Amino acid sequence: MERLTSPPRLMIVSDLDHTMVDHHDPENLSLLRFNSLWENAYRHDSLLVFSTGRSPTLYKELRKEKPLLTPDITIMSVGTEITYGNSMVPDHGWVETLNNKWDLGIVREEAGKFSEELKLQSETEQRPHKISFYVDKSKAQEVTKELSQRLEKRGLDVKIIYSGGMDLDILPQGAGKGQALAYLLKKLKTEGKLPVNTLACGDSGNDAELFSIPDVYGVMVSNAQEELLKWHAENAKDNPKVIHAKERCAGGIIQAIGHFKLGPNLSPRDVSDFLECKTENANPGHEIVKFFLFYERWRRGEVENCEAYTASLKASCHPGGVFVHPSGTEKSLRDTIDELSKYHGDKQGKKFRVWADQVLATDTTPGTWIVKLDKWEQSGDERRCCTTTVKFTSKEGEGLVWEHVQQTWSEQSEVKDNSSWII
Ligand SMILES: [Mg+2]
C-alpha cells in the first residue's frame, strides 16, 4: 500500500469462489476480462482486496489453478487473517483483536459434542481463529443455535457462519469478512488513505457482512446463493447501494462498476479492434495491456494476419529499440515484431491465454516511463511468467514509443522454458 501516496480511487473487496472465480467457466473469460480492466484502468491508483473463506493453503492452490491477479491485500479464512502485499505480511494488530474471548480448545471440545452433525474440514482449513466443519443443510440452523448457547456458557463470544449450503465456520465474534473490512477501512483512514469508493463483491452467506459496512457499495453476482439473496431480502432490500447483478461472477463486478459509476468499465478484452482503440493521454499501462491482448489473439489466430497490424506495431517501436529475451539473447524490437508473423495462429485450440499482472509505471523523467509487470502465458495446463520491464518515451502529441523491453523468468513461473516464448 506504500506505493499509494493519496487515497485510492477505488477499492474492490471481492470474494473468490463463485464471485471473482467462475468455476463453471473453464475458459476463465469473465476473470480475464476483469484482469485487463483492472490493470488497464485501476492498478496504478486503486486497491484490490481478495476476501476469501479459504485458508492460505487453499488460497495458494486456487492462484495456481486460475489466472488471478496479485491483490494488494488478502483477507483469508473468513476474515480472520489479513495480509499485505506480494509477500503476504500478516497484520498483527488484527490477530490481537481476535484473541478477545476466544479459546480454540474450548471451541473444539464443545463442537466435538456434535460429532453426528458436524464433520471437520481438512486440517489446512483449521486456523488459529477459525474452526470449520461441513454440515447438512437441514441441520445447520439447529446446530448453530445450540452450539452458540453452549459456547456462551463457557465464556466465549463467537460467531457461527453457515455458508455455501454446507460450510459451517466458528470464529471469534470480532472476526468475519465484514469486521475485517471495517478494520481495514479504519486503518486506511488513519493513514489518510480512505478509498474514495469501495465496492464489495460476493455470492454466499459469509459475504453478507461485507454489504452491511456503511458507505460501501455492494454487488451480489447473478449466481449468488439462495442464503445471500434471502439475507438481502430481509436486511438490505431498500439499500440502493447494493445490487444483484445480471452477470455471473467477475462479469457482475464489471457490471457494478458501471452501475455505480465508479470509473471506467469497458474491459480491453471487449474491444475487438485495437487499431481503433486510442486513448487521449499517453497511458503506458493501457499500452501494455493492449499489446499483450493483441499478442494473445495473434497467436490464437483470432486477428487477421494482415500487415497493417505488424506495421503499426513496428511504427511504435524505436528504430534502435532492444528486446532482452528471458534466455538472455538480445534482439532488435522491430525484428521481434517481424518474427511474430511466423507464429500467427500457432496456439489455435491450445487454450492459450496471456495476461499482465501488477502493471506499474513510474515516470522518473518527463516523457519517459518505466513500466514493470508480470507477463503470464498459459498454454494448455502449462504456465509461464516473466518479470518484464518496458521503457517508453513519448513526444508531445505523439503516441508512446517502445524503447527497451527486458524479461527474466519469474520465481512464480512453474516452467522456465525458452521455446516459443516470443515476447
Ligand atoms: Mg464465494
pLDDT of residue 281: 64
CA 14 / ligand 1 centre spacing (Å): 9
Beta-bridge mates of residue 21? 17
pLDDT of residue 366: 87
CA 92 / ligand 1 centre spacing (Å): 26
CA 376 / ligand 1 centre spacing (Å): 25
CA 46 / ligand 1 centre spacing (Å): 23
Mean per-residue pLDDT over the chain, rounded: 94
- The answer to whether residue 376 scores a pLDDT higher than 60 is yes
CA 128 / ligand 1 centre spacing (Å): 22
Question: Stretch 69-79: mean pLDDT, rounded?
Answer: 97
Residues of each domain in the chain carrying CATH 3.40.50.1000: 10-89+175-268
CA 192 / ligand 1 centre spacing (Å): 31
Burial 21-42 (b: 16+ CB within 10 A, else e): bbeebeebebbbbbbbbbbbbb
Percent of the chain with pLDDT over 90: 88
CATH code of the region 101-172: 3.90.1070.10
| Range name among 126-135, 199-208, 412-421 with the lowest pLDDT average | 412-421
Q: Helices (H) and strands (E) in the chain — how many of each?
A: 11, 18
Residues of each domain in the chain carrying CATH 3.90.1070.10: 101-172
CA 364 / ligand 1 centre spacing (Å): 41
At 339, give phi and psi (nearest 5°): -65, -30
CA 135 / ligand 1 centre spacing (Å): 17
What are the Cα distances from residue 237, in Å, to 212, 216, 412? 12, 15, 43
- The answer to whether residue 195 scores a pLDDT higher than 80 is yes
Rounded CA separation 59/63 (Å): 6
pTM of this structure: 0.94
pLDDT of residue 401: 94
CA 163 / ligand 1 centre spacing (Å): 8
Most confident of the following: 63-72, 272-281, 388-397: 63-72
CA 26 / ligand 1 centre spacing (Å): 17
Give the residue among 421, 385, 408 at the shortest CA–CA distance from 70. 385
Residue-wise pLDDT for 242-298, tens only, equals: 999 999 999 999 999 999 999 999 999 999 876 655 555 678 999 999 999 999 999
CA 399 / ligand 1 centre spacing (Å): 42
CATH architecture, domain 10-89+175-268? 3-Layer(aba) Sandwich (3.40)
pLDDT of residue 29: 97
pLDDT of residue 279: 55
Neighbours of 200 (CB within 10 A): 29
Residue 32 is inside which H or E element, if any?
A: helix 29-37
Residue-wise pLDDT for 3-47, tens only, equals: 898 999 999 999 999 999 999 999 999 999 999 999 999 999 999
Q: What's the CATH class of domain 271-409?
A: alpha beta
CA 226 / ligand 1 centre spacing (Å): 12
- The answer to whether residue 178 scores a pLDDT higher than 80 is yes
3-state secondary structure of 333: helix
CA 21 / ligand 1 centre spacing (Å): 8
- The answer to whether residue 189 scores a pLDDT higher than 60 is yes
3-state secondary structure of 226: helix
Rounded CA separation 157/336 (Å): 63
Give the orientation angle of helix 284-300 with respect to helix 307-315, to 10 degrees. 150
pLDDT of residue 3: 86
